[in-house]
């Protein structure tokens, strides 16, 4: 354990608090068992190390990744027991989905060491409440999204802007954008964000970002999905084929029969595969607000999860209208209920209707709809119910 403590303190010394993700101040550390889920590359490891540095006492805290060679010969439960006996209070576990029987041992740790608080991270693939041992009554779960446009601006320019609730954006967008325009020119930043702003590692090398993102996609499918779903090689190949098919067409209304024939799987297997890619943070499903979302309910529309994925997977098939819609859906996903609108592009919280478009988009399509708005691209400031689309990137 001494080696693990030494390695943790080394990591802590290199952990910067200069830039912090939106989730860090939302996590209630009074809970004894906390799960932080998120797609590979979203910044989960940095987040829990920052929590350790900013909010916890390093003297009674231990961080360890569960793919560490220590666990080739040692059990997690035994480490927790030893750490607790030596006065440990906070055990931070990274990448739990890479450890066999993780849920059973974490349940035992929770039940047997009441003075020990556990925070663990996992792939967004992991369905904590469907794990072998029931953690639903014990774990409080948080989901870490990719970088918002607001967070990208902070990393890129070192300028901090507050998180904006949707209702503030809808009512006060003019005043808000005027203040933002005093600090930055949003349009060139927005253009860059759409191409390379979803994952924090863009700061390491912009030139290498596309290749790193492709590597991330491969690792999600070959390691993260496989660790949770235990799929054979042939199925993993078909998942990649499905992802490329979605990328070159999205957003689109899927014809399940044709798509299943193209991929070479049954209808039910295809729908399950789409849901796997959605949980992995690679695609986004959209349903009408009247649709019951069952296990085998096909999505009304399929998107890639974020615009960066479009630029590395779709390439010559990129359409700016599709990019705008993908951005809009991504920023709302997990924050608000968002559905396919019968009369326009999206409906949010069964209340607000949105049409997404370019600079010349008219109000014709939403003319007679209450609480309706146009999210326009290529404008710095809006008026009335016309709002710059980039401003919806400030909601987290």
How many residues would you count in the chain? 396
Sign, Cα dihedral of 204, 205, 209, 215: negative
Q: What's the pTM? A: 0.91
What pLDDT was estimated at residue 132? 55
What pLDDT was estimated at residue 294? 60
What pLDDT was estimated at residue 227? 79
Q: What does the alpha-carbon distance between residue 48 and residue 63 come to, in Å, rounded to a whole number?
A: 8
Decide: 228 and 126 in contact? Cβ < 8 Å: yes
Question: Which residues are CB-neighbours of 370 under 8 A, at least 6 positions away?
Answer: none
Q: What does the alpha-carbon distance between residue 395 and residue 147 come to, in Å, rounded to a whole number?
A: 11
Question: Which residues are CB-neighbours of 132 under 8 A, at least 6 positions away?
Answer: 101, 103, 104
What pLDDT was estimated at residue 124? 82
Of the candidates 233, 259, 256, the one whose C-alpha atom is nearest the C-alpha of residue 248 is 259
What pLDDT was estimated at residue 129? 55
Give 10-residue mean pLDDT values along the chain (396 residues): 95 96 96 95 96 96 97 97 97 93 93 97 75 75 96 97 98 98 98 97 96 96 85 90 89 91 92 93 90 73 96 88 96 96 94 94 89 97 97 98
* Tokens representing residue 49 in the block: 């190390």
Q: What does the alpha-carbon distance between residue 35 and residue 192 come to, in Å, rounded to a whole number?
A: 32
* Tokens representing residue 130 in the block: 């469907």
What pLDDT was estimated at residue 131? 57
Q: What torsion do the CA atoms of 213, 218, 221, 224 make, to the nearest 10 degrees?
A: -70
What pLDDT was estimated at residue 130? 59
Decide: 89 and 57 in contact? Cβ < 8 Å: yes
Q: What does the alpha-carbon distance between residue 40 and residue 123 come to, in Å, rounded to a whole number?
A: 7
């Amino acid at each position: 354990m001494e080696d693990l403590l030494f390695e943790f303190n080394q990591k802590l010394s290199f952990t910067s608090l200069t830039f912090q993700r939106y989730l860090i101040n939302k996590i209630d550390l009074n809970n004894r068992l906390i799960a932080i889920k998120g797609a590979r590359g979203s910044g989960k490891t940095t987040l829990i190390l920052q929590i350790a540095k900013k909010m916890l006492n390093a003297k009674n805290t231990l961080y360890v990744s569960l793919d560490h060679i220590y666990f080739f010969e040692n059990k997690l439960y035994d480490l927790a027991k030893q750490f607790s006996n030596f006065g440990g209070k906070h055990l931070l576990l990274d990448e739990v989905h890479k450890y066999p029987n993780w849920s059973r041992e974490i349940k035992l740790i929770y039940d047997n060491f009441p003075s020990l608080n556990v925070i663990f991270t996992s792939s967004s693939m992991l369905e904590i409440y469907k794990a072998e041992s029931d953690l639903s009554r014990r774990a409080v779960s948080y989901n870490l999204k990719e970088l918002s446009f607001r967070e990208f601006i902070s990393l890129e320019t070192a300028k901090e802007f507050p998180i904006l609730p949707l209702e503030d954006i809808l009512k006060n967008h003019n005043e808000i954008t005027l203040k933002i325009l005093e600090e930055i020119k949003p349009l060139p930043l927005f253009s860059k964000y759409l191409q390379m702003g979803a994952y924090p590692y863009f700061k390491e090398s912009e030139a290498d970002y596309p290749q790193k993102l492709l590597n991330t996609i491969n690792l999600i499918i070959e390691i993260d999905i496989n660790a949770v779903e235990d799929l054979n090689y042939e199925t993993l190949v078909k998942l990649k084929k499905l992802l490329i098919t979605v990328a070159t067409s999205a957003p689109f209304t899927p014809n399940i029969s044709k798509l299943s024939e193209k991929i070479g799987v049954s209808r039910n297997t295809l729908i399950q595969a789409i849901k796997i890619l959605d949980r992995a943070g690679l695609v986004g499903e959209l349903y009408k607000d009247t649709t019951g979302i069952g296990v085998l309910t096909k999505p009304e529309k399929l998107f890639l999860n974020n615009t960066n994925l479009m630029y590395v997977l779709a390439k010559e098939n990129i359409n700016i209208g599709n990019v705008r819609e993908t951005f809009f859906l991504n920023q709302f996903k997990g924050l608000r209920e968002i559905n396919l609108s019968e009369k326009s592009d999206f409906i949010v919280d069964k209340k607000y209707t949105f049409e997404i478009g370019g600079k010349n988009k008219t109000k014709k399509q939403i003319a007679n709809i209450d609480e309706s708005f146009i999210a326009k691209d290529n404008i710095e400031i809006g008026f009335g119910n016309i709002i710059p689309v980039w401003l919806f990137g400030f909601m987290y």
